[in-house]
Amino acid sequence: MKSVFISQPMNGKSEKEIMKERQRVAGILLTMIGPFNLLDTHFTQPIGTGTPLEYLGESIKYLSQADLAVFCPGWETARGCRVERLCCEEYGVSVVEL
Residues 1-52 have pLDDT tens digits of: 999 999 999 999 999 999 999 999 999 999 999 999 999 888 877 788 889 8
Q: What angle do CA 80, 85, 91 make, to 5 degrees?
A: 125
The pLDDT value recorded for residue 91 is 98
Element (H, E) at 31: helix 15-33
Return the pLDDT at 97.
Answer: 96
62-88 average pLDDT score: 97
Predicted local confidence at residue 42, as pLDDT: 85
pLDDT at residue 5 in the model:
98
The dihedrals phi and psi of 32, each to the nearest 5 degrees, come to -80, -45
Model pTM score: 0.92
What per-residue confidence (pLDDT) applies to 43? 84
Instruction: Give the span between the Cα atoms of 91 and 66, in whole angstroms.
Output: 11
